């Protein structure tokens, strides 16, 4: 359902672009080609976000192997499948088909073992996987999982014709599919016609970035080209961001409240100390990580 929002200018002073980032080509799982946009060296700057992968290919060889069984502990994964079909199964007993515009939100907490396997042998597979950290008091909580088909996601349209899917957080009074008290994530997919303008309120202390996956936008006098991430500054007087579309453009806008805790990552485990990583490794080795009891 799309909610038409009233004319409304929530931003009086826009953040600017602190830095543009080009992702790194890599592969993960059993050989899925992807672009790692948010890399480990940006985990403190973009706290509470730990990783953003963009995948997009019409060549089956780039995605067909998928992600066979692997563990996670200590954070949340948010997979947004713009095009394509992927089947998820995990050790907590969840199963879901993620497809065309759907979102899967998985809180690994104390541990899940899951697989993500493509359900197509040709055609385009495109989307994003975002990793969102958990506070130290929540890292060992029980796993949680929801999937949302495209039509279940809240949407709004501004008077300027900008279409927004609100995956998490709040935009122009429309509440997203998922909210979180501690990290307060905002996750929007924003589709902008040429010449349009989009304003989004953002608390100054929250870390924020956007990634343009089609076309080109401008923030102030800075151009953000296709396939670039723009890290937004945290200027104390800024109350949001104003984005202008230089072409028809599509982007994701992501923000959250930093946890300001130590981050220790070892592959699919993200904890606060080395000891907790050793514990995760031995729990995984001994078959205790994905236990449901
Ligand atoms: Co995974």
Which tens digit of pLDDT belongs to each residue from 39-85?
999 999 999 999 999 998 889 899 998 999 999 999 999 999 999 99
pLDDT at 5: 83
pTM: 0.96
Distance CA 117, CA 130 (A): 18
Burial label for 275, CB within 10 Å (0-12, 13-18, 19+), is exposed
Contact 143, 108 (CB under 8 A): yes
- Domains identified in the chain and CATH numbers: 2-285 (2.60.120.10)
Q: Which residue has the tokens 């230089």?
A: 246
What is the 28 CA–ligand 1 centroid distance (Å)?
10
Collapse the DSSP code of 290 into the 3-class scheme (helix H, G, I; strand E, B; otherwise coil) and give the result. Answer: coil
Q: Ligand 1 centre from 114 Cα, in Å?
A: 6
Whether the predicted pLDDT of 292 surpasses 70? no
Rounded Cα distance, 108 and 140, in Å = 9
For the chain, give the mean pLDDT: 95
CA 110 remoteness from chain centre = 20
Distance 115 CA to ligand 1 centre (A): 7
Task: Identify the weakest region by mean pLDDT among 2-16, 24-38, 54-68, 144-158.
Answer: 2-16
Going from the Cα of 43 to the center of ligand 1, the distance in angstroms, rounded, reads 18
What tokens does 71 get?
């563990």
CA of 68 to the centre of ligand 1 (A): 9
73 token code pair: 């502990």
Q: What is the pLDDT of residues 229-261, one digit of tens each?
A: 999 999 999 999 999 999 999 999 999 999 999
Please report which confidence band the pLDDT of residue 290 belongs to, taking 50, 70 and 90 as the band edges: confident
CA distance 6 to 22: 36
Distance 241 CA to ligand 1 centre (A): 31
Question: How confident is the model over 104-123, as pLDDT tens digits?
Answer: 999 999 999 999 999 988 89
Q: What pLDDT is attached to residue 30?
A: 87
CA of 182 to the centre of ligand 1 (A): 22
């Amino acid at each position: 359902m799309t909610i038409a929002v009233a004319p409304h200018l929530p931003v009086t002073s826009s953040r600017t672009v602190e830095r543009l980032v080009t992702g790194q080509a890599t592969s993960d799982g059993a050989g899925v080609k992807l672009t790692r946009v948010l890399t480990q060296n940006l985990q403190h700057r973009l706290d509470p976000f730990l990783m953003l992968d963009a995948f997009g290919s019409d060549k089956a060889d780039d995605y067909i192997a998928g992600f066979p069984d692997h563990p996670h502990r200590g954070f949340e994964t948010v997979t947004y499948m713009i095009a394509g079909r992927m089947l998820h199964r995990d050790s907590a007993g969840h199963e879901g088909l993620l497809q065309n515009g759907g979102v899967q939100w998985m809180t690994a907490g104390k541990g899940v073992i899951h697989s993500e396997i493509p359900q197509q042998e040709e055609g385009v597979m495109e989307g994003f996987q975002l990793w969102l950290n958990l506070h130290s008091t929540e890292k060992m909580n029980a796993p949680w999982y929801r999937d949302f088909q495209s039509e279940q996601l809240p949407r709004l349209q501004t008077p300027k014709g900008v279409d927004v899917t609100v995956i998490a957080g709040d935009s122009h009074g429309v509440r997203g599919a998922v909210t979180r008290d501690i990290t307060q994530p905002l996750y929007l997919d924003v589709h902008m016609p040429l010449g349009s303008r989009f304003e989004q309120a953002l608390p100054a202390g929250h870390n924020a970035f956007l990634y343009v996956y089609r076309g080109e936008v401008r923030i102030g006098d800075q151009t953000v080209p296709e396939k670039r991430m723009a890290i937004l500054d945290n200027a104390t007087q800024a109350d949001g961001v104003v984005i202008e579309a230089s072409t028809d453009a599509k982007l994701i806008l992501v923000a959250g409240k930093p946890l300001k805790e130590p981050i220790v990552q070892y592959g699919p485990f993200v904890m606060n100390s080395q000891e907790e990583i050793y514990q995760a490794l031995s729990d995984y080795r001994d078959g205790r990580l994905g236990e449901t009891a």
